A and B are shown apart, each in its own frame.
Chain A
Amino acid sequence: MKIIRWVTGLIIVALFMYFNFFIIESNTLIKLINVLLFSILFVLIRVIIGRTAADRLVAVDILGVLTIGILALLGLFYNESFFMDIGLIWALLSFIATLSFAKILEGRSLDD
């Protein structure tokens, strides 16, 4: 059972990599951004199936850090530096949101 799931995942990832790097004709940076967007799809799977609230919290935390990478690559593609401003603010807000949600999950109130 485990082996079947592993092989299925391997086939999906290999198909995506093949389409991304050999079929689509585009800039190299855009292809790299596509890989990051594909990994964000996995994070969204974890947000949807979840099981517990802490799982979803972990996924949202990771999503914030991945977004900084995407914004840096977009800034490199358009050769503009203001994308990194958005990234820094995003990191700050996502960190504060993670801490406050963890506090709520623990059962304390925010002004404790």
Chain B
Amino acid sequence: MKIKTRSRLIVFLLSALVWFALTSMKNWQEVFVGLLLSLLVSLIAGQFLITTEKTKHLFLRSLAFAKYLFRFIWEMIKANFHVAYIVLHPNLPIKPGIVKVKTKLTKDSARTVLCNSITLTPGTMTVDINPDKNEIYIHWIDIVTKDYHNIDENTATISAKFEKLLKEVFE
């Protein structure tokens, strides 16, 4: 099966699932319209979801994704208490700046998930990505590293914990 056909099939199944979750599915007309609309959506915009060949078994990848999800939720709870501490403190203890980290991930989807998880974890937010040099610019609200021009130290502090997990999921 070609990649485009598989991507369209997955988009069709997902959009049909969302339609059946949102409607009550009482009579056959709703089912018919739902199938028709998902067919239309998958024909128009279906080929953009998956662009590369699959590398590993689906079960292993979902297991790694569950591991990543638990880590992400824990980091996110920590991030929220960190922001609450900064906001409620009378003196606003911040030391902001924009630093640079390196990434080893190559796929677009993996990079998107990495940037989203960097944005939602303690004190960091993605500003821009340089796809040629594999560098991500990150706004950091409270810089803790001594030498902030040192890319390796920043990478080890900010993004290494997610990159290891995401490498198992996507590559």
Contact = CB atoms under 8 A, between A and B. Distances in A.
Q: What range describes how many residues of A lie at the interface?
A: under 10
Interface in A1-35: 2-3, 6
Contacts of A6: 90
Q: Is the interface of A mostly helix, strand, loop or mixed?
A: helix
A96 to B, nearest CB: 15
Main secondary structure of the interface of B (DSSP, over half): loop
Nearest to A88: B22
A16 B22 CA distance: 38
Interface in A46-90: 85
Nearest to B89: A6
Nearest to B24: A81
Interface string B10-26: 00000000000010000
Nearest to B22: A85
A85 B21 CA distance: 12
Contacts of B29: none
Contacts of B22: 85
B147 to A, nearest CB: 30
Interface string A84-105: 0100000000000000000000
Contacts of B91: 2
B145 to A, nearest CB: 27
Contacts of A85: 22
A2 B93 CA distance: 13
B128 to A, nearest CB: 11
Interface of A: 2-3, 6, 85
Interface of B: 22, 90-91
5 contacts: A2-B90, A2-B91, A3-B90, A6-B90, A85-B22
